Structure 1
């Protein structure tokens, strides 16, 4: 891998480690320390996600206009300013204001990180996005683990630790990313204007694909919300539930490189890779729907993790392949905002279904969503005339 990609990987680990100090504990802090209801906590998280969606779209467009370096610096600066404020003022209602700003700032960062990763190692194809995906999950594992330790000592130190990680991140970005050159949107404007019809078809293809991607995220996030609550009701301890996510992170870090080798050996196309992943997701939810003991949910989580290793890195890779030159950031912004939108809508939809009907009804609906996602994945590129072959610079879609 090129040095520039390694710098992006390190930056992603530091970025997500910092974010993961706080996000798993947000609900606990709002409810237990600020004395607000769980509904209010949910609204705060929803506002944070909504701001992140806006940040994703804005950050993707910004990447195409001013480049990845300036976009990332802007995103870090906004986030860092909010974190400094949160370190000193973490009462109510300041907390909600800073959470919205943090959501917007971090949203700007992610599309540029993914777009830069694809640009600095085009010949690597999906491997660049796989590496960023593994780095992101390693950051989640580190941040969540360290955050629990810090919170046990003093919850207020969580905000300071988050701020310190972003100070480290901005140093990495300032001294490491300035020399990373990517094609600018201005240089490619002639090409985009000259192929408007083709570009429109590619955008439609991405939107169709992201429809299924959204549905997958709506279902996936149930493991963090409705399924989490259900495990408590059937007397599975919080420690055992937390262990499921530790296993998830460990499997991704260890298993993704192995999976990459298998996919490369059998020259699996990205479309087939995603369809296999969605099929594995279905199996995971079938297992979880029948589970009554911890062992059943453990098997379901292992299957779920294998499925996400197929899907989550593949979608940004397809987006990069589809993007006209100079629009890579915009396409990555769509992908990231879709994932964030799924994480925002999923808990609300799942909660309503369980409250109005039952967990069984929820699982039936989720399986239906996956079946729709398979259809959108099968047909998303039907209107495209150009077929790309696996192993080329842009890879196979």
Structure 2
């Protein structure tokens, strides 16, 4: 890549997942190609995550929802990279910019959120079913390239004794809502089971924390919005993690080696992902909605609006369902009473490596005209 060609990394504001992918790619480019000017672009909690990473400094730009700052496009050589965002690539194309889309969830869409042939590179993360879906889509999907999971490097940390529990909700904010009533109920459930509110750290975005605090009685556990490095250090020194089945956190627990219990999902995307994680993750107890009487893990194939609405309905009903809460407490006690083991992947899993950040970085370099 010629020196001075800018790269703009643009994650969608949908939890922390897209922003975590963007920072992993930014870190790889910074480490291996420091001559490349890398900018972060985002709004809401995505912008906050990019800022807190410390990777961008004065190269961090605030964007309007579904828009791009005027600065993106002043250099016509620029490459724009979008993580889970399917509206802004069209804005970039209108400006004549080269575009890359990184789609972590292509395997589970029932209809393409963006025609893959409308952008220069469409990169889909390898996941069970993704190859079959690409084949089923025919000609429009022929240009899709598969990349490995995008997982940021673990920060250096001295070994330490493990203590305390992390209850992780991810970003827990999206344009479609955050199911905060359910998350507030989970804090009470986990606090009662663990029995030590001072030893529990609830991790989520500051926006989600504010929404949770506005619901009901004061939260007894500590709620924290942790930058990536601090989050990974916290996981590496915690006795256990209790988490929703988000895509980023499932890879991070492998890196951190923290004993993990997975709770029923809050978002419709959690419902769709959890089956694959159950199939391939070993030594991880999964508590799913269908283990609670009168509840279900939602099927794939619902429209996004309907799926989100039903996921929120489940969470809201759970919050006032004493019997369901008692069942979840019993299942959680059973899970944490098991001998603690670090998560592993079973043989036959489709995730051959965690080199996705490097693969995306090389695609960006190649698109800019100088593969290395």
TM-score by structure 2 length? 0.26
Structure with higher strand content: 2
TM-score by structure 1 length? 0.25
